[in-house]
């Protein structure tokens, strides 16, 4: 006997919303892991965003530095231009 599932429009919208955010969630996970790896390598509190993107790219991240900046900002990280013109990122507690 087959079971029927009653799915209303609100449930479908929630799934669509979750599916649309899935790529960013995956990218965020890669970027956070790369951020933590780079931070462990150099110490301190901030890292050059380009180095984070390079590490994340080794694990499947396909975005640009600018895309990474947007993803990290949306997750609560600070991203600013350093004195040498490169983007720097750090976590905000």
What CATH number corresponds to the domain at position 43?
1.10.10
Scan for tokens 């995956």, then name that residue: 26
Task: Compute the distance between CA of residue 6 and CA of residue 8 in angstroms, rounded to an integer.
Answer: 6
pLDDT surpasses 90 at 71? yes
* Torsions phi, psi for 59 (to 5 deg): -115, 10
Task: Kindly state whether residue 4 falls inside one of the protein's structural domains.
Answer: no
Range of the domain at 40: 9-91
Give yes or no for a contact between 49 and 86, defined as CB atoms under 8 angstroms apart. yes
Q: Is residue 2 part of a domain?
A: no
Residue 77 binned pLDDT confidence (cut-offs 50, 70, 90): very high
Question: What pLDDT, on a 0 to 100 scale, did the predictor assign at position 14?
Answer: 57
**Does residue 29 surpass a pLDDT of 80?**
yes
47 domain residue, yes or no: yes
Residue 1 lies in a domain: no
pTM: 0.75
Q: Can you state the angle between helices 9-42 and 49-57, rounded to 10 degrees? A: 110
Q: Is residue 25 part of a domain?
A: yes
What digits encode the pLDDT tens for the residues 34-60? 999 999 999 989 999 999 999 999 999
Structural domain count of the chain: 1
52, part of any domain: yes
């Amino acid at each position: 006997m087959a079971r029927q599932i009653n799915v209303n429009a609100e449930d479908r919208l929630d799934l669509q919303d979750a599916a649309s955010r899935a790529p960013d969630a995956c990218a965020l996970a890669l970027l956070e892991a790369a951020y933590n790896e780079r931070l462990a390598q150099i110490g301190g509190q901030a890292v050059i965003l380009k180095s984070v993107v390079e590490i994340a790219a080794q694990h499947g991240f396909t975005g640009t530095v600018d895309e990474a900046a947007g993803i990290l900002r949306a997750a609560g990280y600070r991203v600013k231009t350093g004195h040498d013109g490169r983007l720097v990122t750090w976590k905000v507690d």
